[in-house]
Amino acid sequence: MIKTDILIIGAGPTGLFTVFEAGLLKLKTHLIDALPQPGGQCSEIYPKKPIYDIPGFPEILAGDLVKNLMEQIKPFEPGFTLGERAETIEKLEDDTFLVTTNKGTQHNAPVVAIAGGLGSFEPRKPPIPNITDFEDKGVAYIIRDPEVYRDKRVVIAGGGDSALDWTIFLADVASEVTLVHRRNEFRGALDSVERVAELTKLGKVNLITEAEVKEIKGTDHVTGVGIKHKTEGDINVDTDYFIPLFGLSPKLGPIGNWGLEIEKNAIKVDNSYDYQTNIPGIYAIGDVNTYKGKLKLILSGFHEAAIMCQSAYQRIFPDKKYVMKYTTVGGVEGFDGSKKEAKKEVVKAIM
């Protein structure tokens, strides 16, 4: 059985930053994540996508943000149970929690912090009869490694930010990019729509609107798609890959059966104090929680993690009074014996 001070469910950016905030309080942490690597959506869905709203970083790739967070928490030696889903939770007689994964791994902690982002995700698949036959054979719902499409022909379907962003990105990677959308209007950012229009004029993107992909062609791998156009009828496009980007459906999964108060597929918390759920000792931070005025931003999750850890400390050590010390004054002392602190100058008295 794995024992720790704070058991963090979800190893996305918020979960990872929780390790740092807990470490400053000398609290040990362990993380559970169903994905095979830390980073959550940033690693699994859009590692090469730039993020613009992280303080101090005018622009940073999602994958690089995860890399930096992993480096930041390294001194606090967190444990990881990856590739396993938190399945059940049990309150023990000593007021701690026992969390068991779908593979039977048991974890014990006095505090559980749910930082599972929007939960587990399932791609929204278009109603194409044979689409499942070509999954991993030219059909992909998530772009993990853009280099797979280097010098290949790609058809993307969708009209949101993801479809627009990847169309723009792959225009400089793939040999041919076709974007298919059922409407003339897009739901993405205006600058992205304008950029796709510009690339279309330059001949770097083949834009087909008022149309839908209705058929996938090929035997062992995708060789083309059949498109139904509103006015032009049937269109056939030869391609090596078909990528329908219609978003992902978030699901809380087994956590939804833990007796927590749920509202619109999110966990209700007390945001006026510490982001605790209706079960004392269980907190929810990041995109997985909801409260009045909630903003689903990574920086909001970072803030919630810091507040939550202060409350967790008081729960674990009710008889101790913690005096907050700023890292600019006290530095950062890792569990591995490392110490980071500002250089102290020696000032001699003038007689």
Q: Is 288 helix (H, G, I), strand (E, B) or coil?
A: helix
41 marked as binding residue:
yes
Burial class for 219, CB neighbours closer than 10 Å (0-12, 13-18, 19+)? exposed
Q: Could you tell me the two tokens for 141?
A: 């719902």
Secondary structure (DSSP) of 173-229 = TSSEEEEEESSSS--S-HHHHHHHHHHHHTTS-EEEESEEEEEEEESSSEEEEEEEE
Q: Is 238 annotated as contributing to ligand binding?
A: no
Ligand-binding site membership of 277 (annotated): no
Rounded Cα gap, residues 169 and 196, in angstroms: 10
Residue type, 225: V
Q: Is 64 annotated as a binding residue?
A: no
317 labelled binding-site residue: no
- SS3 state at 29: strand
β-pair partners for 248: 123
302 is in an annotated binding site: no
349 is in an annotated binding site: no
Q: Are strands 206-209 and 176-181 parallel, antiparallel or unpaired?
A: parallel
**Where would I find the beta strands (DSSP E) of 102-202?**
106-109, 111-114, 120-123, 153-157, 176-181
List, as residue ranges, the binding site.
14, 33, 41, 46, 86, 121, 287, 328
Annotated binding site for FAD: 14, 33, 41, 46, 86, 121, 287, 328
